[in-house]
Structure formats: C-alpha cells, structure tokens
Chain A
Amino acid sequence: MKLALIGVGGAGTRIVDRFVRAERDTGRSVTNGNVLAFTTDPRAFDRTTALSADRQVVLGDAHPDVTRRGAGEGNAAAGERSRHSRAEPTEAGEGSATETAPEGAPVTDGDSDGLTDAITNYGVGGDPELGARVAQADRPEIRRALDPIEETDVAATMLVAGLGGGTGCGVGSVLLEELQSIYETSVYALGVLPATAEPDRRTLTAARGVRTFVPLADSMFLVDNEAWCSDADRVVDRYEPINAMTVERLLSVFGAGERDCGSVSEMRVDSADIQRTLDVGGVATIGRETVRVEPESRGLIARILRLIGRSPETDSTAVDASMVKHLISRALQSKLTLPCDITSADRVFVILTGPPDTISRKGFETGRYLLEEETETVEVLAGDEPIPGAPELTATVVLSNVTTVPRIERLQRRAVAIQTDGDPNDKATSATDTERPAATKSTDERFDRSNPDDDAASHGFDFGDTGRDLGE
C-alpha cells in the first residue's frame, strides 16, 4: 500500500527517516518519496540520513516563544522572551522553560522528542500548547510544505509523532487536523507513548495527545515505550531498538506486496484490505513473529518428492501446516506495539511473508480461523506475500480498534494526578525518574503485574531482531 509518511518532532522524524532507509534496504517501495518531517528544533535533523533537506521543515522560526539554539544570543533573547511569554495568559508557562534554557542547557545531545529522558528547552520546550500555537500560526507555511506530497500517488497518509513531546503532540495535533481537511484519502497516525520513567510532563502530554489524535485520525497505531523497556534499561537506550521494531512492523504491514521483484501472490493484500481493517477508527496495535524455515524441507529433492507424491505425508506436509498455524498464533500472542486485551479488537489483519513453498494453505486457513476465535471478531482480513528463497517466514498481525487497553488507563490516571498536583511545568524542567513518588511507581508496577495482557514479563525483551536489518 502506498503511503505518504509525515514525521513531526524528534521521534516522528527519526521513525520516518528509518522507514525510508528500511524501504531501500528491503526493496519495498511504500512512500515513493512522499515523506516530510516537521520540527521546531532543527537539530532533530542532525541525525537523519535518508531525508533530504527539501523534506525537512522547521516551524516556528519567527514565533517569539520558540527557543532557538545559537551561540551568544542566548541569555538576552531568552530573558526577553520569557518576559514576553509571562504576559500571555496561557497555562503552559513556557516562561519557566525558556528561562532555564540557556544556562541550564540540560540536554547536551539535544533532541526535543525523546532521545533523552529530559525535556529539552529548545523548540517548544516540551509544551504541546505552544506547539499547537506555533503550528496554528504557521498554517500557510505548513500547507506550502505539504505541496510536494502527491496525494494521488498514495492510498493514504500517516502522521508519525512522539505523543509525549511538545512538538510531536502539539504541532502534530494541528498538522493532523490540517491533513484531514486537505486530503480526501485516509489519514492515519502513529504515536509513541512515553515510558513511565520519562518526565511526568510527557505522560500528561501523551494522555492528552491520545485524546486529541484518536478522533482526528482515521486510525491510530500506538507504540508503548513502557512495554518495550525493562527496568534495567535506560529509556534513552531503548529508543533505537523500539524505533527499529516499529519500522519493521509498519513495513511488514504497509510494504506487503510493494516489492519490485516479488512473485505473484495468491491472496494478495491490496490497500483496500488494510484500509478496511483500519476503517473502524480507534487505536490499532501490531504483533509479529518470525520463524526460520528449514532449507532441507524446501530443497529440490523434497520438492520433487512432493510433486510425484512420494513425500512422506506425515513428515513435511504436517509440519508445514502446523508451523504456519503456530506462527500466526505466536504473532497474536507476541508483544504487541501496544499491549492490550486482544478480544477487544474490532477487526484483524494478518499477512504472511516468506517463501511461497512454505506457506501451507491449510496452515494459513486454520491460522486465520484461530485469529477469528481468539479475537472474537469475524472481520479477519488475510493475505500472503511470497518471497521466493527467503530464509524466514513472518506473520504480522494488526489488531484494529482495540478498546481494552490497561496501559492507556494507567497513563490517564497518572496524567490526571500530575495535572492535579499542580503546575506541570515545574516538573517539566526538573523532573527525573528518581523524583517520581515511590508510591506511584509501585502502583504502576502492580498494574503491570495484574494485567494479564501485558506479557512483557513472560516474553522478556528479545530485541534480538531489532538490531538486524529489516526484512530478511
């Protein structure tokens, strides 16, 4: 399915950049160059490698409340701005953020939406209200920037953002509105939820972000940093692998059938299948599982034996069917991008990617039926993507409109507590993991354990596959 990808903020930019690289590496063509990245802090582009300069858009250049990096002008300008902003009757209090920015400069590897635990003071300083105002003010610029996106080239557009960031969430909200108003085709969103170890302000921003994005988007994929971080990890160390995992799954879903040299698929996935799965709106999550396929069972001799009917019936054939069925089952039980109660899914989509001679029809059909029974929905769309000679077989499952998501409830409860606790901006500048009240943490942990769907504990954190290159 052809998809335009629009990243916003640091996290969004990185994911889109990685996606474009992965497209090249796997020979799939999804975006056809229809990509853009928006940020309020140009340093978000420092690490991008696949996004050309004309695809990078900096917003808020002229906005008085946006903090620019730059030597020398720091103190005076910041002071000027903070006075200015205090005068504004906004709740967000960007004043405090800008004030500490120049000397505090707490974030040395500067990134506004999540490469570090702390919130940087550059760009919109983690303030979604400011982000939204900046984007509102820059609407004409946003429209101009969107010009190179060929809507007729793509079946849909996806906005990618870290929901905890001021730019991702704030600018993203306005951008999402804008995209919906100018595009006739579907506009999806992908949002990253902050881990609990990240600053409180991100949690509050993200909870509001979910509230804002979901009704605006035709469907919203969520990736939960919390579920993909273990206690031992520093959140910051997890961003790379989580982004890699996210891109790998997105590409499995949207890149199915978009391979230049793919052989003809029997049950081809067409964009209408994916779109119909997502049509119901709400929140979507992705699971994935891969198995190496034994070269022996697929060898020439085995194939000839099968052709002339001399294949040991019990051996290779039975193995194939149950292997495929179990693979689909394991993809469903795998750690989802956003853990949830799978029975709350509205529609389900499954794609099998791998060598066509391993995709057993019986296994595929019973696997699909299993999805229907396990998720308690009758709307299961399925397809295959044959890749001759591939060393592994992958099942990717999309659960669309999941409505029982303990993680979102926890996020909301914490966000309400943070909001009630007082001015979130104080925490924005100083909050760290250790400052979080111990009580909150243990409560969270209890939730984690009591949630049967959050299978983090049982699955461990096998990021083994995220380091590799995507696809095969």
Chain B
Amino acid sequence: MKLATIGVGNAGSKLIDQMIEFEFETGRNLCRHALVINTARTDLAKPRNIDGDRRVLIGDTHRKARGHGVGGDAEIGAEVAKTDIDEIRRVFDDVEIHEVDAVLVAAGLGGGTGSGAAPVVIDELQKMYEEPIYGLGILPGTYEGGRPALNAARSLQSFVNKVDNFIAFDNDAWRSRGQTIEQGYEEMNEELATRIVTLLAAGEVDESEVGENAMDSSDIMRTLEVGGVSSIGYASTEVDVEKQGLLAKFNDAEESESESTDAAKIKGLVRRATNSRLTVPCDVSSADRALIVFAGPPDVISRKGVESAREWLEQEADTVDVLAGDDPRPDSSNLAAVVLLSNVTDTPRIDEIQNQAVDAQNKIQEQDAVREEEIQSLITDDDNDLDPIV
C-alpha cells in the first residue's frame, strides 16, 4: 500500500517518524508522504525523519497555546486545529493524492493535541478526498489517569465515526517493568511501527519477485473497509539461512521433509501472532474480517502452512472472511506473520477507558460547580469583617 501519513501531537508524530525509520531499515516503501502537526514547538522538533517544511505548528497565536502545547486540553486542541485548518490544508496540498492508496492519521488519544486536533484534521481530509482514511490511535494506560481517559473516550468516538478504520494500540498492554520513560516509549513505538509497516507495506516490493500468492493492497483495504476498531497481532522467527542455501536445494528428500516442518512452523507462527500481545487486547472471535501477511524469504513460506494457518484463523475469528498472502522479502533473515483483526467489537480495555472517563467527567463537573464558591469562602473570613485593600 502507498500511504500519505499524518502524525498529530507528540505521540502521533513520533510514531510516524518511527514508521519511516523502520521502513528505511527494512527496505520497504510505505509512507510516500509524511506530515506532522503539533501545538508545541519543542515537540515538533523531535522527529528525525520528517522534513522541516512538513512540520506544522498550530495554535501559536492562540492565547492558551502560543506554541507551548495545550496542556492536555482536548477542547483547545480541537479549537486550534479548526482555526489553523487552512495552514494544514495548504501543507497537505503538496500531496499527490492520486499517488497514494490511503491516508493514515496517527495520534495519541490521551493528550490534548492528538485527541482534539486529529478528528478535526480527519474531518477536513474526508471532505477533500475520496481515498480511505485510516486512524491509528494510541490509547492511554489506566495509570495515566482520568483526564487522559476522558480525552481518549471522547476522541475514540470521533475517530471511529470519521475514519474508514481505526487501528487501536493500548499503552497498558505494552507496559513493562524496568523501563525508563525514554525506553518505554521508544520500545512501544518500535513495536507498533513494526506491526503497522509490516502489515500495510505488503504488496509494495518493487524490484523483487512478485509471487502468485502475494498480498495486494486491495486485499488489505477490503479487510479494513468494514470500519470499526481493529487490532494487530505479530510474531516473527529467525530463518535458518543455511537451509535456503544451494546445497539444501539439491537434496530433494530433505526439501520435502523441511516442507512439513516449515508448514508447522508457519501455523505456529500465526497462532503465536494471534495469541500473543495484540495491539489492543480483544476477543478474537468478535472480529468481522481477518487477514494474515507473511513477510520473509519466499522459499520458507510453505503453501501448506499458509493454508492451514488461514483455516485455523477462520475458526478462531469465527468468520469466513480471512485472507492470507505473502510479502516476499528475499533478503530478510526472519519470517514474520502479521494478523489483522478488523472490526473487533469485544475490547475490554475500551470499556474500561469509557468507565474511567465517565467517572472523570463527573468529577470534573463536580469541581467546576463549586470552584468559585470555594475560593470565595477560603479568602473571606466567617463574618466577612475583613476588607480587601483595593
């Protein structure tokens, strides 16, 4: 697939940046255009792989932003995006939209800029283009607290209503002990970038052989077109390079033997991808459609294995709409399986965020209601005997 990508806010921008890095490292070519939008000047300077003129600062004239972020306030995030929408459109005008298959908008949903500005940007894109627009949203973890949960729950509604498909990533599922803040976010971004790029870049191998079983962009888009929320699973294994060597190929007997081990390996890989950490934990059987991409050296992708893996996933996901295909990477030293579960409807983590958000909203409303009164009562003595100076 060929994508135009937009990162909104700090998390979204860094993710797009990481995707480009991963692409570059693995010789893929997915993100034809990359644009980052932020309200904080310093955060906008962070990405390493985005050109200077593809970074858009919004809200620098807004009284509460001034190029220093929106302080986690999604309302201001949305407001400044609306105000500066012409600026965003102007930068996006350079994108040759007919050269891409879809647009991907990435954002962290806990912060103010991502949650508030991204839906505004998506609205505008939907007005301008026919191409599908996908969302990639990072959900805040439980421990990030009530305000991020409220931002996320509200933004998730906008995202899912406006995009053609929403790929969710749950921070909580990827928290691990012993990480510093820096490592934590970096590792998470790497994991997510690996999944997204491996999935969406399938079918974009220009120079190399295109097998008959190759995955095509249209297959991926077909799987995504049901809308809703999607989750991605991933597993990879080292490929024994020697086995692919010339010697091994001479030995027919060994080849047929290795064929059956390869088939088992492939099926095992897909099971692992589906049962391991999904980008957002979900009940696999609630998926509407599913798709498997095998990325790796073509001669280790056993047809038998692919078919039995596909059948297994059909059972698990309880849907007949399961596509499987290859993304041949002759030079790769590992074989990866990416499983896309499209329109999963049973995602406990999203329910949790919604509950946390409702509690937070109630708390915020309670505080708003008594704020002025409490300040007055604090600064005034019981009988109001003390006068202000001026």
Chain A residues at the B interface, C-beta cutoff of 8 Å: 1, 128-129, 132, 155, 169-170, 173-174, 177, 184-185, 204, 207-212, 214-215, 257, 264, 266-268, 270-277, 279-283, 306, 311, 313, 316-318, 320-321, 344, 346, 356-362, 364-366, 368-369, 372, 376-381, 384, 386, 401, 403-405, 408, 412-413, 415-416, 419-420
B380 CB-CB contact with A under 8 Å:
yes
Q: Are B178 and A316 in contact (CB under 8 A)?
A: yes
B390 CB-CB contact with A under 8 Å:
yes
Within 8 A of A (CB), among B331-390: 359-360, 363-364, 367, 371, 374-375, 377-383, 385-390
Task: Output the nearest chain B residue to A355 by Cβ-Cβ distance.
Answer: B180
Chain B residues at the A interface, C-beta cutoff of 8 Å: 39-40, 42-43, 46, 63-66, 68-73, 141-147, 150, 175-185, 359-360, 363-364, 367, 371, 374-375, 377-383, 385-390
Q: Are A272 and B183 in contact (CB under 8 A)?
A: no
In the complex, which residues of chain A have a beta carbon less than 8 angstroms from the beta carbon of B380? 211, 412
CA distance A204 to B385 in the complex (A): 11
Task: Determine how close the nearest CB of chain B comes to the CB of A281; give it in whole angstroms.
Answer: 6
Given contacts A211-B380, A270-B68, contact A401 B147 (CB under 8 A): no
Task: Output the nearest chain B residue to A214 by Cβ-Cβ distance.
Answer: B379
Task: Determine how close the nearest CB of chain A comes to the CB of B65; give it in whole angstroms.
Answer: 6
Task: Determine how close the nearest CB of chain A comes to the CB of B363; give it in whole angstroms.
Answer: 5
Task: Determine how close the nearest CB of chain A comes to the CB of B354; give it in whole angstroms.
Answer: 14
In the complex, which residues of chain B have a beta carbon less than 8 angstroms from the beta carbon of A173? 388-390
In the complex, which residues of chain B have a beta carbon less than 8 angstroms from the beta carbon of A185? 63
Given contacts A184-B63, A208-B387, A270-B69, contact A317 B178 (CB under 8 A): yes
CA distance A274 to B73 in the complex (A): 12
Task: Give 6 A-B contacts (CB < 8 Å), ordered by A residue.
Answer: A132-B389, A173-B390, A272-B40, A276-B72, A369-B143, A413-B382
Q: Are B71 and A320 in contact (CB under 8 A)?
A: no
Q: Are B388 and A212 in contact (CB under 8 A)?
A: yes
Given contacts A208-B388, A212-B388, A272-B40, contact A378 B146 (CB under 8 A): yes
Q: Are A272 and B70 in contact (CB under 8 A)?
A: yes
* Chief secondary structure at chain A's binding surface: helix
Q: Which 4 A-B pairs have the closest CB atoms?
A: A378-B146, A317-B178, A276-B71, A361-B184
Q: Are A386 and B182 in contact (CB under 8 A)?
A: yes
Give the residue among A129, A214, A356, A403 with the most B Cβ atoms within 10 A: A403
Q: Are A401 and B371 in contact (CB under 8 A)?
A: yes
Task: Output the nearest chain A residue to B390 by Cβ-Cβ distance.
Answer: A173
In the complex, which residues of chain A have a beta carbon less than 8 angstroms from the beta carbon of B382? 412-413, 416
In the complex, which residues of chain B have a beta carbon less than 8 angstroms from the beta carbon of A368? 143-145
Task: Determine how close the nearest CB of chain B comes to the CB of A366; give it in whole angstroms.
Answer: 6
CA distance A268 to B69 in the complex (A): 10
In the complex, which residues of chain A have a beta carbon less than 8 angstroms from the beta carbon of B175? 361-362, 365
CA distance A1 to B42 in the complex (A): 12
Q: Are B378 and A283 in contact (CB under 8 A)?
A: yes
Task: Determine how close the nearest CB of chain B comes to the CB of A363; give it in whole angstroms.
Answer: 9
Given contacts A317-B178, A361-B179, A361-B184, contact A270 B71 (CB under 8 A): yes
Contact pick for A155, options B66, B146, B178, B389, CB 8 Å = B66
